[in-house]
Structure 1
Amino acid sequence: MRRNLLNLIHGYYLEAFSRLPPGLLRATLAHGVLVGGHCFGRLRPPHNIIVNAVWYAAAFPHPAATDDGDGGDDVRAVLPTDGIARICHRSLEGLVAALRHYCPSVSAADALYHLMDANADLGSAIALANGTSKSSALRVMAPRNLVAFQLAAEAARHPNPAAFAHFASALPTINAKNSLLQHLLINYMLSPGNIDHLTNVLVPELPDEPPLPPPTIRPRVLDCISSQKQQFKDTGRRVLDVVNMASQHYTLQTGEQLVLHSVSGASLVNEEEEGLSNCYYQINFLANRKYPDSALGFPVVLFTEATVLAHDEICINLCVIVDPAKEIVSCFA
């Protein structure tokens, strides 16, 4: 049951990634999603992810990695697989904690069943647990939101549970909420302007506080951080090489051109067979179809597997579009 829920939640994160503008996703929003973009709240799970991530990225800005002129921006298109898995697990823990606060008689096991039946939608799960409609459940939630969201954020290890609880419980008044929902529903593919609008709605007045002094870091730690960053870049470039070859492979097969949006999962599998060591890349990535008039379609999820041969030669075994709800090769399988 947990695995099924995690796969469902994983699909919501893929939907959220596909709706965010690639440039902002790579610059700031990926951090917002992977650290503070939990899927629980008063909206649908994908909308909660987007709203929570935009709010967190604006309220607690993280210094964006600067492009060092050596493909740094491209490498940031590779989202860390462990980071996606971590936020999915933590979101599930938060959902269970919130549901059990609203419905104290529900056991942890029953909470999973209600969440599965409700497609990981907190309001719908509460309605199922209480045998009421979702609108009634939302009314029941209202006076208990502050405590529930604090407990959820603590269970999900949110960096600032108290701030999140105040944000999520007050989000926003009913008229503003309708406007916010309309904005999210009308604009499936969010532009930088749409993100600016959401930021202004969610964080109308950013705190004007003096910057904190930079922490003192020992040279040995700096060397370690630098080494890890370089390793991530090297791995990211290899993944991008595979994805670019896979996109070309897909174009040759279908005649459709692809424009990379982001890489949402990558693993290197080693297999021993008859004394030979074979390496396979298995990668999920999002890409837009490019039409003859240069217009871009909605992002689709693709899966590719590639064999790494001698001298780092790469052979694409397959590259296909998948349905995230049914066929995604997930980090929870």
Structure 2
Amino acid sequence: VCSPISPATSSTVSTHWSRRRHIHHVLLLMPKLTYRHSWSLTRVLLDTIHGFYLQALARLPVGYHRSLLDAGHCYGPFDPVSNIIVNTIWYQATFPPLSQQDELDIVSTLCLMRIEARSFYGLVSFLCTCYQDLDTDQAIRFLLDTALNLSATKHCSSVKEEQEAYRAAAIAAWHPRPDAQAGFLSSLKAMLVAPHVLSLLQDGGQYQLSSQCVHQIHTLLCSEYHSIVCVPTHQQRPAPISERQFHFTMSEGRKQRRTHRRISAKVKAALRRYEKQNSGHSYQLHVVCGVNECVSGPDNCEGSGLKPGLDPNDDYYHHTHANFLATRNVAGIVSAPVLFFAELSNHDDDQDSQLLCCPVDLPPPGAGLVRCLFCEHQGIRIVHPALERFHGHAAEFEKMVRGENLYNNDYYPEGDIEPYTNHQILKHSEYVAKWVHDGLDEDCMYLGSNDFNIEEDESEEVDDLE
């Protein structure tokens, strides 16, 4: 059962309209210029968005991961975390998935980063549609100044204009049903249940939403939305696919789920060791929410610990960095999910006991993450500890600055390895951070046979005729 609305939330209501007038004034005075460090600002904004998604993952049941990754955008009439949860619950209720896979206590890292990037483009598009004289750089600065809170902006002059702004956001954010989402978000203010939904979302602070709470939100949102816009629940249509591509997709999905279960098992083992080392409090893994398996490498030199049977021409890395959320049980009382960081061995589980596992603080909006050479090079957002030692922190950055090789890769021709340089880190991380397209291998782990309609492959027909 949800607890009463927090006092902090109630206090913000009284200042809502004064903040809105102030922010509108700031928008009018904001200079029109192109910021030379636009990507740096974008990266800080994406880090902030990532923090909001971690908070949403902490509150949502694991059965909502697929809908969050598909349509759980952080724009809308509420605060960013509430918007993510509302968009996720509404989408899953209105467009339920055709296939139900086994629930995993781990979320796809690249898919999570993709929905964060899509949300970024949706937020910018919403503002630039509402304020025609606003350019992209000004929109980014405004979002940073307001911690992405679109509710702080002025109302559109009409419901139609607001719906157009949400539709522009949904299209820019690659929402699978942009018109439906625009209609839903623009109708939220007209819903009599909106204040009740918001209070349910904000009850209990950062505690995980109970199944009863989620069901209440689901019922309130969908019943009134369907009565306002007269849209029934939609049955998804299977996507046409060739038999060859279907079998590849199913095989890749099984492979991805095996990989993610292996990582989940290693994280659980690290959590058990942390329990023993720290007063024996009992923790329960909620979700693994960020993984980089490319830490400490590539290192393919002799004596590097390369597993027998692995191709020495393949890149080999010693460690994995992971974030996960876990709850603590004290005297039968379950805590709010706590964010952890773990460094894991890629080739020897026994070494994990010597590696780091500890709680970490989520940086406040607008603050950068603690730096890690390997995670930044891969473009993966992992929250690292500020005061603990881990691979990829001080020593590796010092070597990069001095131009030293991190590893002696005997099997590689000289110059064949992309060096760790600041330029390469920025170049690669920007490419990954701005990825918004479908077609990631990790997408397959959420798909089942009911998601597809197998059609005859025309290329196979040609082969048969020949």
- Identify the residue that residue 105 of structure 2 maps to in structure 1: 77
**Percent identity for Structure 1 against Structure 2:** 29
Q: Please point out which of 222, 225, 242 is paired with 2:249.
A: 225
The separation in 1 between residues aligned to 2:101 and 2:54, in whole angstroms, is 25
Q: 1:240 Cα shift?
A: 1.2
Q: Which protein is richer in helix relative to its size? A: 1
After superposition, what is the alpha-carbon deviation per residue over 1:74-113, rounded to whole angstroms, capped at 9, x for unaligned?
xx11100011100000001000001011111111111100
How is 1:124-273 mapped onto 2 (pairs within 5 angstroms)? Answer: 124=152, 126=153, 137-138=154-155, 140=157, 144-173=161-190, 175-188=192-205, 189-204=208-223, 205=226, 207=232, 212=237, 214=238, 217-255=241-279, 256-270=281-295, 271-272=297-298
Q: 1:150 Cα shift?
A: 0.2
Corresponding position: 1:14 with 2:54: yes
AA partner of residue 79 (structure 1): V
Q: Which runs of 5+ in 1 are unaligned?
A: 68-72, 127-136
Cα 1:257–1:103 shift into 2, 3 Å: same
Q: 1:245 Cα shift?
A: 1.5
Aligned to 2:132, the other structure's residue is in SS state coil
Q: Is the 8 A contact 2:166 2:185 kept in 1?
A: yes
Cα 1:278–1:165 shift into 2, 3 Å: closer
Q: Please point out which of 117, 130, 133 is paired with 1:105.
A: 133
Q: Which protein is richer in strand relative to its size? A: 1
Q: Is the 8 A contact 1:308 1:315 kept in 2?
A: no
Q: Tell me how many residue pairs correspond in the alignment.
A: 307
The separation in 2 between residues aligned to 1:95 and 1:208, in whole angstroms, is 27
Q: 1:18 Cα shift?
A: 0.7
Q: Which runs of 5+ in 2 are unaligned?
A: 1-40, 305-315, 382-428, 430-466
TM-score using structure 2 length = 0.62
Q: Is the 8 A contact 1:102 1:141 kept in 2?
A: no
Q: 1:40 Cα shift?
A: 0.3
- RMSD across aligned positions (CA): 2.3
Q: Is the 8 A contact 2:286 2:325 kept in 1?
A: yes
Of structures 1 and 2, the one scoring higher in RCO (CA 8 A, sep 6+) is 2
Q: Please point out which of 67, 90, 94 is paired with 1:59.
A: 94
Cα 1:208–1:17 shift into 2, 3 Å: closer
Aligned to 1:222, the other structure's residue is in SS state helix
Corresponding position: 1:96 with 2:124: yes
Corresponding position: 1:118 with 2:137: no
Q: Please point out which of 57, 61, 84 is paired with 1:49.
A: 84
Q: 1:196 Cα shift?
A: 1.1
Cα 1:141–1:283 shift into 2, 3 Å: farther
Whose radius of gyration is greater, 1 or 2? 2
